[in-house]
């Protein structure tokens, strides 16, 4: 990563977190149904952003404290279409091959209740 890119990410308060995500699977980030092309900002590359529900799932299926805090303290979940989010959560939960008691998915109902969602 170039120093210019790091500086730009820092300017927009985008943190780089090293690690591997289990869910959503990588192919979901490539599906047109879950991403939107950014038009007019770049000439030489195509840039897509994932649906907010897909981004939320990266935090929901994490065991990192920082991701749990993001779910609890930001408006990420309020920005999501709850029906769409819960459909994704149920799909990904059905494909989980491990039982991690620290996975943030176990806190989702509590967070919804506390936020009045």
Q: Which two tokens stand for residue 89?
A: 């959560």
Residue 99 domain flag: yes
Looking at the domain assignment, is residue 90 inside a domain?
Answer: yes
Whether residue 48 lies inside any domain: the answer is: yes
- What pLDDT does residue 7 have? 78
Q: Which of 19, 31, 32, 97 is nearest to 58 (CA)?
A: 19
DSSP letter (8 states) at residue 93: H
Domain containing 26: what range? 21-115
Supply the pTM of this predicted model. 0.76
11 assigned to some structural domain: no
Classify residue 73: in a domain, yes or no.
yes
Q: What is the pLDDT of residue 41?
A: 78
| Residue 83 placed within a domain | yes
At 39 the pLDDT is 85
Would you state the pLDDT for residue 81? 96
In a domain, 9, yes or no: no
How many domains does the structure of the chain reveal? Answer: 1
Does residue 105 sit within a domain?
yes
Provide block-wise average pLDDT over 10 residues at a time, the chain (117 residues).
Answer: 73 65 80 84 84 94 93 96 96 85 94 96
């Amino acid at each position: 990563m170039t120093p210019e890119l790091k500086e730009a990410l820092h300017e927009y308060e985008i943190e780089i977190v090293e690690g591997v995500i289990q869910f959503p699977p990588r192919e979901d980030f490539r599906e047109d149904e879950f991403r939107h092309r950014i038009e007019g900002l770049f000439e030489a590359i195509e840039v897509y952003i994932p649906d907010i529900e897909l981004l939320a799932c990266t935090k929901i299926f994490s065991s990192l404290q920082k991701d749990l805090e993001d779910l609890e303290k930001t408006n990420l979940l309020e920005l999501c279409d709850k029906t769409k989010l819960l459909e994704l959560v149920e799909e990904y939960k059905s494909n989980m091959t491990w039982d991690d008691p620290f996975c943030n998915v176990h806190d989702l109902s509590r967070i919804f209740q506390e936020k009045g969602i």
